[in-house]
């Protein structure tokens, strides 16, 4: 029984270590981006425009890469990175306190992520894509291959470049090249088809990390007693 518990604890630790190392590395990359954007947005924008991938340059034009964006990215990546470091340190040191805090924060993150997805999905379905949504509108059009200014709209209506794909960046989108699918209907259909899968995937990942943290904590508590 002790050997089985030990193997379970080791497996839980390995899962926590691997996942949290990957999260820490990703957080460091985003934190670097955020700090660079705050320190010198023009320099970062110049580097981005040299990237050979048109979609990156299109979604991150100079007017988007600002100190405000950098501050937001840095703040979010710092929080996620700190949680990951907490889980990594707890898994290695078998600290009951760190593992309990990590499990609690993972559960809270699950609730937050589900709430944010529900809010944005409901907003897009109800209102459609709005200009104030910023670069999200371009990203959604590119992912779903849709356009709210489709063929039923007036030919004189100005269409965003993303209605025709990245090849139309920055202002080469025409009625003939625009996607036929309406974005509002496409988003509604996508959410209806995949929201259960998305919620299940989020819940599965977070429950796995939550369970591993509690298993590792339980093993640590037994070893101290």
Which secondary-structure segment (H or E) carries 116?
helix 96-127
Domain extents for the chain? Answer: 2-224
Contacts 24+ apart (CB under 8 A), 194-199: 195/117, 195/121, 198/117, 199/114, 199/117
| Long-range contacts, 24-32 (Cβ 8 Å, 24+) | 24/81, 24/84, 24/85, 24/88, 26/77, 27/77, 27/78, 27/80, 27/81, 27/84, 28/77, 28/81, 30/73, 30/74, 30/76, 30/77, 31/73, 31/74, 31/77, 31/78, 31/81
Asked whether 113 and 202 are in contact (CB, 8 A), the reply is yes
| Cα–Cα distance, 184 to 124 (Å, whole number) | 7
Each of the 225 residues of the chain gets a pLDDT tens digit; together they read: 445 557 888 899 999 999 999 999 999 999 999 999 999 999 999 999 888 877 888 889 889 999 999 999 999 999 999 999 999 999 999 899 999 999 999 999 999 999 999 998 888 888 878 777 778 889 999 999 988 876 555 555 678 888 888 888 888 888 888 888 888 889 999 999 999 999 999 999 999 999 999 998 887 655 544
pLDDT of residue 224: 47
Structure tokens at 195: 């929201």
Length of the chain in residues, anyone?
225
Closest CA to 57 of 38, 75, 44: 44
Q: Which pTM value belongs to this model?
A: 0.84
Per-residue pLDDT at 171:
80
């Amino acid at each position: 029984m002790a050997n089985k518990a030990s193997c379970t604890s080791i497996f839980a630790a390995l899962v926590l270590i691997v996942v949290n190392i990957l999260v820490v590395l990703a957080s460091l990359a985003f934190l670097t981006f955020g700090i660079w954007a705050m320190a010198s947005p023009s320099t970062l924008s110049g580097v981005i425009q040299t990237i050979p991938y048109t979609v990156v340059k299109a979604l991150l034009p100079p007017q988007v890469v600002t100190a405000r964006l950098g501050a937001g990215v840095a703040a979010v990546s710092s929080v996620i990175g700190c949680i990951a470091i907490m889980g990594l340190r707890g898994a290695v040191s078998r600290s009951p306190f760190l593992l309990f805090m990590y499990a609690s924060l993972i559960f809270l993150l699950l609730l937050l992520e589900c709430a944010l997805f529900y809010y944005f999905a409901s907003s897009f379905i109800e209102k459609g894509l709005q200009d104030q949504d910023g670069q999200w509108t371009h990203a959604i059009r590119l992912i779903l291959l849709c356009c709210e200014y489709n063929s039923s709209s007036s030919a004189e209506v100005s269409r965003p470049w993303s209605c025709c794909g990245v090849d139309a960046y920055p202002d080469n989108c025409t009625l003939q090249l625009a996607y036929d699918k309406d974005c509002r209907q496409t988003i509604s259909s996508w959410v209806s088809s995949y929201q259960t899968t998305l919620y299940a995937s989020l819940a599965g990942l977070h429950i796995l990390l939550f369970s591993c943290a509690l298993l590792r904590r339980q093993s640590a508590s037994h070893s101290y007693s």
